[in-house]
């Protein structure tokens, strides 16, 4: 499933579901901890304070806060300003682990809300990131 939605502020909501052959208890730490995220999502992740992380990509700091944390289910990573403060209409990434009632298969739904306009680039980025995650967890 791929969905993109433009809003008036020219942000795009990219949503994609990926089959992951692992239990939520195995997947969740890779979505919700600094060490887990550093393995597949970013170059490095440092904990600054309770639920505030510095996510580093290409030697650039991105201050974030983990919100909407539901153990073994979901987490939202909200991007903060350079002073580590919340901003209106902030970029975010949501990770939600879901189980198909029909097959019992696990899915990871990724929602990336940002200014990135290139749908093809977003799809390639997330496909590659999820492939790295699958390789790490064996799923």
Residue 38 CB coordination number (10 Å): 17
Domains, the chain, ranges and CATH?
2-137 (3.30.530.20)
Q: How far is 39 from 44, CA to CA, in rounded Å?
A: 8
DSSP, res 103: T
Q: How far is 31 from 42, CA to CA, in rounded Å?
A: 11
Instruction: Give the mean pLDDT per block of 10 residues along the chain (139 residues).
Output: 48 94 94 96 94 95 95 97 93 96 92 90 96 91
Give pLDDT, residue 68: 93
Stated pTM of the model: 0.88
Q: H or E element: which one contains 69?
A: strand 60-70
Of 66, 37, 35, 32, the C-alpha closest to 52 is: 66
Residue 37 CB coordination number (10 Å): 23
């Amino acid at each position: 499933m791929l969905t993109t939605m433009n809003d008036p502020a020219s942000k795009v909501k990219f949503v994609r579901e990926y089959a992951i052959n692992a239990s939520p208890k195995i997947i969740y730490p890779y979505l919700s901890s600094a060490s887990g995220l550093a393995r597949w999502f970013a170059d490095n992740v440092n904990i600054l304070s309770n639920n505030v992380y510095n996510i580093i990509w290409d030697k650039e700091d991105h201050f974030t806060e983990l919100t909407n944390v539901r153990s073994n289910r979901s987490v939202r990573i909200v991007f903060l300003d350079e002073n580590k403060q919340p901003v209106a209409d902030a970029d975010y990434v949501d990770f939600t682990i879901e189980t198909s009632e029909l097959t019992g298969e696990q899915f990871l739904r990724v929602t990336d809300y940002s200014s990135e306009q290139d749908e093809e680039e977003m799809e390639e980025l997330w496909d590659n990131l999820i492939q790295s995650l699958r390789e790490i967890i064996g799923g």
